[in-house]
Amino acid sequence: MKFLRLLLFPFSILYGIGVLFRNKAYDYGLFKSVKFKLPVISVGNLAVGGSGKSPMTEYLIRLLKCDFTLAAISRGYGRRTEGLFFVEPENSFEDTGDEPLQIKRKFEGITVAVCEDRAKAIQCVSNENDVIILDDAFQHRAVSPSLSILLFEYSSFLTTQLLLPAGNLREPMSAKKRATVIVVTKCPLDIDPLRKQAIAKKLKLRSDQHLFFSFLKYGTLQSLSDDLPSRPMISLSNTKNIMLLSGIGNPVPLFKELSSYNTAVIHHEYPDHHNFTDKNIAKLVRAFNKLEAGDNVVITTEKDSLRLLTDEFKKQLKGIPVFYLPIETYFNEPEKTSFNNLIIEYASKSTSGKRLYQS
């Protein structure tokens, strides 16, 4: 792997030069970047996948939905539709992308839209909403957000980070200067204050940038079928085998969480946003049926579960206990209060009925 990274490193240099010129073109106004009067909160990261953007977006929605009308906008990665598409709970993930559909089904009262042109989408939803949340939009510089939240996964500070294709960074670390808020995600629950200081020192943030540390909270296992009730995570301690099916950016934290309850975890791992095929599910079913009889379960992520709801997959998985595991972003106090207050302050700058664009 190190040898392959070495071979790809020259291409990373070329890629970095391209990214640099693109960013400079936006910085100097050669490329247009629209700033809206309406509060626009962007959530993004520098790496490819796995930093917890969806849980953070859902955290913001939970925080703001009772006091503001919200619209969540994303590109809709992997969808087969084009242009502006308003997401409804009955839609297929193939029409919307998995993450927008997950958000709409969990928060039916908010507007969820997908569009390649985020500025166009904001214009279309601005009259009915107080606050816009952009998911995975740090590199979408055609929109200049009011508040930019940049996520770094905790484990990324334990290794050397390189640009694509030798590494997984979409932009160099210097791009963090565009962020107002930096959140280190998926931290250990009991992260050492000295470790926080070391990360802060490594990031070298400006005095006007805000740094927070978050962790994931795992929920109750939810059955993919109506035939089975939900079950607490602690019940996994009594299972014989756990078969994990994942198609996410970084499944390591989830694998470790399951392994903390039961070490007999068999992982069927696929790339992020992977569209499961009949062969994938048939392979899973064959492996499950070969397990020693007992309390065996299949566990997948909430996002992946949306891609298992086709009639064909339901038929293949009939009789197999399949559960998905919801996750949420959490902060320890006093960071939780500080973070919440900061977000609410920006969201409160709503100017409904006033000009759409910033002068």
Mapped onto helix, strand or coil, the DSSP state of residue 144 is strand
Q: Where are the beta strands (DSSP E) in the chain?
A: 34-35, 40-45, 70-74, 85-86, 111-114, 131-135, 143-144, 147-153, 181-185, 210-218, 222-223, 241-246, 265-269, 296-301, 322-325, 327-331
Please give the Cα distance from 53 to 136 (Å, whole number).
7
Question: Comparing 49 with 147, which gets the higher pLDDT?
Answer: 147
Global confidence as pTM: 0.94
pLDDT at position 256, please? Answer: 95
pLDDT mean over 73-90: 95
Quote the percentage of the chain above a pLDDT of 70.
97
Please give the Cα distance from 96 to 320 (Å, whole number).
28
Assess contact for 93 and 101: CB atoms under 8 A.
Answer: yes
Give 292's DSSP letter: P
pLDDT at position 47, please? Answer: 93
| Strands 222-223, 241-246: pairing kind | unpaired
pLDDT mean over 347-351: 75
Number of H helices, E strands in the chain: 11, 16
Q: How confident is the model at residue 4 (pLDDT cuts 50, 70, 90)?
A: confident
User: What CATH number labels 36-217+331-347?
Assistant: 3.40.50.300
The per-residue pLDDT for range 139-165, each reduced to its tens digit, is: 999 999 999 999 999 999 988 889 999
22: exposed, middle or buried (C-beta count within 10 Å: 0-12, 13-18, 19+)? middle
Closest-CA residue to 301 (of 326, 273, 274): 326
CATH domain 220-325 topology? Cobalt-precorrin-4 Transmethylase; domain 1 (3.40.1010)
Please give the Cα distance from 32 to 26 (Å, whole number).
7
Domains of the chain, by residue range, sit at 36-217+331-347, 220-325
Please give the Cα distance from 48 to 249 (Å, whole number).
7
Mapped onto helix, strand or coil, the DSSP state of residue 290 is coil
